[in-house]
Amino acid sequence: MRPIEVLNELKSRYVNTDIDWELILEHGYRCFLTRESVVLDIGGHAGRHSHVFVAEIGCARVDIVEPLPTHAKWLRERYAEHPDVRVHECALGAIEGRTEFIFNTGSPEESGLRERIYNDPSAKSLEKLQVDVSTLDSLCANSNRLDFVKIDTEGGEVDILRGGEETLRSLRPVLSVEYGAAGYEVYGHERATLFRLAEEFEYGLFDLFGNALATPGDWHECADNFYWDFFMAPRERGAEFSGLLRGQLDRVESSLMRPGI
């Protein structure tokens, strides 16, 4: 089946169901992460995924990036006894510096470097903070291994990738990227931006079930359509990566989803 056919099948069967996409993402990276893996969690927030990396998979090293001081403090305290976990209190972007960060206290998970289009505008309650901004290349300057990067920054994903070109070209990690118009448009990007950037860095885009979004047509059909999380895998590992996630849809359907009424 083509990726859009898989997506349309999901939409038709589960349109009235609350699907836990974070759990589906987790099922995906569990297919390829091991105790030897080195992981970077950009947008650590409340530790939803870092907990899996550290306590369940037991990855060899986990770096967490979290710009909100309260959340970064909590994460440092949570992992104080884990010497292979480091919490970086900063944002990531295309260049280093210091800038304004928009903290949505009504929905902290939707906070970011710019004011995005919020899922529930009535819950919007904004505070402006000053935060340090680093780059992926600076953060990984002394690294010789990086297996997986999770990026969830409410629209700032493209800038992070651009600030990590050297890292992506040398270490070739798999990435997960949340990419939806409510976030990327306020940064001046468009739907095709991520696809073009992936091609530039010799990466392929995949949905959470391992289906390759190999052409601009595939990408435009599936992006901003029911889900917003995607994997990026080095082009030279595309077939291998897709094979690792094969069967993911069956696992998800059997364990996570219940058909809508």
- DSSP letters, 53-73, are IIIII--SEEEEE---HHHHH
Grouping H, G, I as helix, E, B as strand and the rest as coil, residue 143 is coil
pLDDT at res. 6: 81
pLDDT at res. 259: 45
As averages over each run of 10 residues, the pLDDT of the chain (261 residues) reads 84 76 91 97 93 97 95 95 96 93 74 70 79 96 97 90 98 96 89 97 94 95 92 96 80 55 32
pLDDT at res. 82: 96
Torsion sign (Cα): 127, 135, 49, 73: negative
Q: Which has the closest alpha carbon to 47: 19, 85, 100? A: 85
Which residues are within 8 A (CB) of 118 and not within 5 positions of it... i.e. 6 or more apart? 104, 107, 110, 124, 182
Label the pairing between strands 126-134 and 148-151. Answer: unpaired
pLDDT at res. 17: 72
Residue with the two structure tokens 């601009």: 216
pLDDT at res. 58: 97
Please give the structure tokens belonging to residue 261: 């009424």
Domain 3-98+135-254 in CATH 3.30.420.40? The answer is no
pLDDT at res. 250: 67
pLDDT at res. 217: 95
CA distance 189 to 94: 14
- φ/ψ of residue 31, rounded to 5: -70, -20
